[in-house]
Chains A and B, each alone.
Chain A
C-alpha cells in the first residue's frame, strides 16, 4: 500500500508540473490560435537562465525564480509575440507550426552555445524539509510543485473569467477586428497571453529540474512539450480544468508505469512511449472534424515546370554532381551524397505538405524504416532499398489510417505522437541497434556494379532524386495532383464531387513515406552504418523547418532543403548562421509561403530579370495576370467597375 501511495504522490507531483506547462500552452493557443511547438524549449532555456542566476551568478534561489518567472520569461514571450507570432497570425497551420519549430530549433541552438554541454546541477527547493504521511515522505519541493500548480490554475481561471483583460483576451479569439472596433487592443491581449504562457513554461521548467536534477539538458525538457500536448489535448486546447485532469492522469500513468511495469526490454520501451500513446489516444477521441464550408481559399504556388525544363534541370544537376566529384575533396563528395539523400527525404514533404497541406513531423521515422530495413537485411541488392520504401509506405498508412478524422493541427500532433512511439518502441529496440547502438550496412549493388566509391554513390543519389522529382512533377500535373490541391483548398467541395478524401489522404501519406523510406535506404548504404539516434523524432523538426523555408512546394526547394540539412549536420560551426537565415525565412513565410525558392522564382519573373536576359517566358503575361488578380480577389469588396478598369 505504501508503495502505491509513494507512486501516487510521485504521479501527482509530475502531473502538477505538466499541468503548469500545459496551461501555458492552452492559454497561448486559446488566445492566438497558434500552437507553440517551442513551449518546451522555452521551459528549457528559462530553466538554464534560472541555473545561471542561482548557481553561476550566486543569486538566491528564490530571487532567481522571481527574476525568471516574472521578468525574463514574460519579456521573452512578449517579444516573441511582437516580432514573430504577430507576423504569422493569419497564416495557415503549416506556416505557424514551422515558425514555432524555428523558435524551438533556435532556442536549442542558443542554449547549446551559451551553456555548453556539462553537468548543470540544480538543488531542490526546501531541501531537507518535508512531511511524512504513513511511511511515505513528501519533500518540500513536491509540496511546492503541487501547491504552485493549484495556485496557477486558480489564478488563471479567475483571470480569464473575471478580469477585464481576461475577458478581452477571450474576445480576441472570436473576432480581433470586432474587439478592436469596441476599443479593445487585440495585439496587446495576445502579447499578454504569450508573456503569461512563457512564464508558466519557465515555472514548469524550473520545478521539473528541481525535482529531477538530470532533466536540465537541451532535449529532455524540450520534449516535455509532448507531455504538455497530451495534457492540453485532454482539455481539447480550450478547457483549463480538463487540462489539469489530463496532466494528473498522465503523471499518474507515468509514475505507476515506473513502479509496476516489468523492467524487461520490451516494457521499458513501452514506458517511454506512454506520453505519446496518451497523446495519440486523446487525439483519436476527438470528435470527427466536420468538413468546413464557407471559404474560398487558394495558396500561392510556384509554376509547375514544363517537362523540357525538367529534363534540362536533371542534366544540370547530374553535371553539377560530376563537376563536384572532380573538384571536391573525398569528405565533401560524401557530404554532397548525404545532401542528396536528405534531398530525397525532403522531396517526400513536397506532395504531402507542399501539395496537400498536411504537416508531418514523422518523416525521419519513415526515413529510419527504410534505413533499418536495408541494415537488417544485410543486403546490397536494390530490392532491399525497395523493400525499405515499401515498409515505410506501410508505416505511412499506419499513421494516416487512425488519424483520418483529424485535420490540421491535430493531424500534425498525431504524427508527432507516432514519431515518438517509433523512437521509443522501434528505434531504441535492442534488436534494431538499441539506444546509442548501430548496425552495419552494405553499399548498393546494381546489375553487377557496386557503388563502392562516394563519387559513384553521389551520382546514384542524384539520379534517384531526379527520377523521383520528375515523378512528383508528373503527378502534380496530372489528375492526382489536381485532386490533392483541390482537397487542400476545399475537402467539402471535393466530397460533393464524389472524391473520397480519406482514400486520397492515405495514398499521399503512403507515397510520401515511401519516398522518405527510399531516401533512408540510400542513406544507410552511404553511411556504412546506421544508429537509432539518426532517426529520432527531434530530427524531423529542423527537417520540416528547413524544407518549408527552402520551398516545400517545389522539387528545387527539396534539393535546397536537403543540402541545407546536410550543412546543418556537417558544419556545426555554421549552425548559428544557418539558424539566423532560417529564422528570417520562417518569418517571411507569412508573405511568401513558397519559401526561398518561391522567392527566387518570383525574382526570375520580375520584368527586370527579363530585360537582363534571365527571366522566364511569358513574364509580362504573368505580371499582368497578377495585377488583375490583385484587384479582383474573390470575396473582397471590389466593385465590378474597378475590375473593368484594371482589366482595361
Chain B
C-alpha cells in the first residue's frame, strides 16, 4: 500500500519561513486533507513533495524510500501526480491533447494512450470540451483537465491543490464522489481545499497547517473539536468567520489574500 511520509520539512524564502518542521503522512486508500488559512504553506508543501521546491531541511519518503533529492519527473514515474492551485494546463493544446501528453508520458502496460485518454474524458465528463483549447475553457473545467491529466499517469499518490474552486455545487458533489472512488482504487489522495463542507465529507484524515506549522492532525471530528484549529481559523476572540450552513457542517471562511511566502518565490 502506498504511503507518503513528510518528516520535519522546513522551507524558508529569505527571511520568511513558509513551512516549519512539518511532519505528516498519507496512506493509500484514504483521502487526506491538508487545510489551513492562506499562507499556511500548503502549496509549498505540495511543491516539496513533487520536487518543484527544495526543502531547506527535512525529508520526504514514498513507501519508505527517501525521494528528497529525486528530480520531479522521476517522482512522477514513481507514481506522484498533482494538480495546481494556479492553473498549469497546456494552454496551446486541446483538452484531449492535454490528457494525451500525460498518457503518452508513462505508457501503461494495460492500455493504449488513446484509450486511456478517451476513458478519462468520459469519466471526468469532459466530452463537450475535448477539442477546445485548454486556454479557452472555463476555470472549473481547466481544473478538471488537470485532474484528468494527473490521473492519466495512473498515480499512486495524487496531490490536488484546490481542485473544486470554480465548480458549481452539483459539480462539487460529484467531485467528492470521484475523490472517494479514487481512494477506493487504492490511491493515496491528498487534497488542499478551502471548501470545508467537501473536506469534512470526504476526508479520512485532516492535517491543519498554520503559518507553516502543523497544528493538528486527526479525523474530521477530532480536527473540528481541536481548540488550536479553532483559534487558528477564528482568531483569539473567536469572532465572525464561521458560516453555519443550514444543511451541513460549519464552513470556515478563509481570507482571500495570498501571502508572499506562498506565491512570491515563484516569480
Contacts and interface: CB of A to CB of B under 8 A. Distances in A.
Interface of A: 290-301, 479, 482-483, 485-486, 488-490, 492-501, 625, 628-629, 632-635, 638, 640, 643
B101 interface: yes
B210 interface: no
Contacts of B106: 497-498
Contacts of B263: 294
A72 B136 CA distance: 46
Nearest to B50: A496
B136 A482 contact: no
17 contacts: A290-B265, A294-B267, A295-B87, A296-B86, A296-B89, A297-B135, A298-B90, A298-B91, A298-B92, A485-B90, A486-B93, A494-B73, A495-B76, A496-B73, A497-B149, A499-B105, A634-B135
A296 B85 CA distance: 11
A155 to B, nearest CB: 31
Interface string B69-87: 0011111110011101011
Contact of B73 (A298, A299, A499, A635): A499
A298 B50 CA distance: 24
Interface stretch (B137-145, B190-198, B219-227, B240-248): B137-145
B142 A296 contact: yes
B134 A298 contact: yes
Given A294-B267, A628-B132, 13 more contacts: A294-B263, A295-B88, A296-B142, A298-B92, A298-B135, A301-B92, A486-B98, A493-B88, A493-B89, A497-B150, A498-B76, A632-B137, A640-B138
Contacts of A643: 138
B104 A482 contact: yes
A543 B65 CA distance: 50
Contact of A496 (B82, B113, B132, B168): B82
A292 B150 CA distance: 18
Nearest to A629: B136
Contacts of B120: none
Contacts of B133: 298, 629
Contacts of A485: 90, 92-93
B135 to A, nearest CB: 3
B100 interface: yes
Contacts of A489: 89-93
7 closest A-B pairs by beta carbon, nearest first, are A298-B91, A298-B135, A629-B136, A498-B76, A495-B72, A296-B87, A294-B86
B153 interface: yes
A645 to B, nearest CB: 13
Nearest to B133: A298
Nearest to B146: A493
A292 B76 contact: no
A294 B92 CA distance: 16
B97 interface: yes
Nearest to B89: A296
B93 A482 contact: yes
Contacts, number: 155
A547 B76 CA distance: 37
Contacts of B142: 296, 634
A478 to B, nearest CB: 9
Contacts of B74: 498
Given A294-B267, A497-B76, A299 B71 contact: no
Interface in B94-126: 97-98, 100-102, 104-106, 113
B57 interface: no
B52 interface: yes
Nearest to A292: B266
A488 B92 contact: yes
A298 B91 CA distance: 4
Nearest to A489: B90
A641 to B, nearest CB: 11
Contacts of A496: 50, 52, 72-73, 75-76, 80-82, 150
Nearest to A493: B88
Contacts of A495: 51-52, 71-73, 76
A317 B45 CA distance: 56
A253 B122 CA distance: 64
B92 A497 contact: no
Interface string B43-71: 00001001110000000000000000001
Contacts of B146: 493
Nearest to B47: A293
B266 A497 contact: no
A489 B90 CA distance: 5
Given A629-B133, A633-B135, A501 B73 contact: yes
A303 to B, nearest CB: 11
A17 to B, nearest CB: 35
Contacts of B134: 296, 298, 634
A607 B82 CA distance: 42
B81 A292 contact: no
A635 B153 CA distance: 26
Nearest to B74: A498
Nearest to A630: B136
A493 B101 CA distance: 11
B83 to A, nearest CB: 9
Contact of B87 (A486, A635, A640): A635
Nearest to B94: A482
A76 B232 CA distance: 57
A406 B37 CA distance: 35
Contact of B136 (A490, A493, A633): A633
B232 to A, nearest CB: 25
Contacts of B135: 296-298, 629, 633-634
A292 B137 CA distance: 22
B76 A293 contact: no
A290 B92 CA distance: 22
Contact of A291 (B72, B81, B100): B72
B90 A490 contact: yes
Contacts of A498: 73-74, 76-77, 105-106, 153
A204 B92 CA distance: 43
Contacts of A500: 71, 73
A482 B89 contact: no
- Most A C-beta atoms less than 10 A away, residue of B71, B138, B263: B138
A273 B210 CA distance: 55
A632 B137 CA distance: 6
Given A294-B263, A497-B81, A632-B137, A299 B92 contact: yes
A489 B94 CA distance: 12
Given A299-B92, A485-B90, A628 B136 contact: yes
B104 A483 contact: yes
Given A486-B93, A497-B81, A498-B153, A296 B88 contact: yes
Nearest to B142: A634
- Most A C-beta atoms less than 10 A away, residue of B50, B74, B90, B133: B90
Given A293-B266, A628-B136, A629-B136, A634 B73 contact: no
A299 B134 CA distance: 11
A490 B152 CA distance: 17
B76 A486 contact: no
A497 B51 CA distance: 12
Contacts of A301: 92
Contacts of A294: 84, 86, 88, 263, 266-267
B82 to A, nearest CB: 5
B86 A295 contact: yes
A593 to B, nearest CB: 11
B68 to A, nearest CB: 16
Contacts of A501: 73
- Most B C-beta atoms less than 10 A away, residue of A632, A634, A643: A634
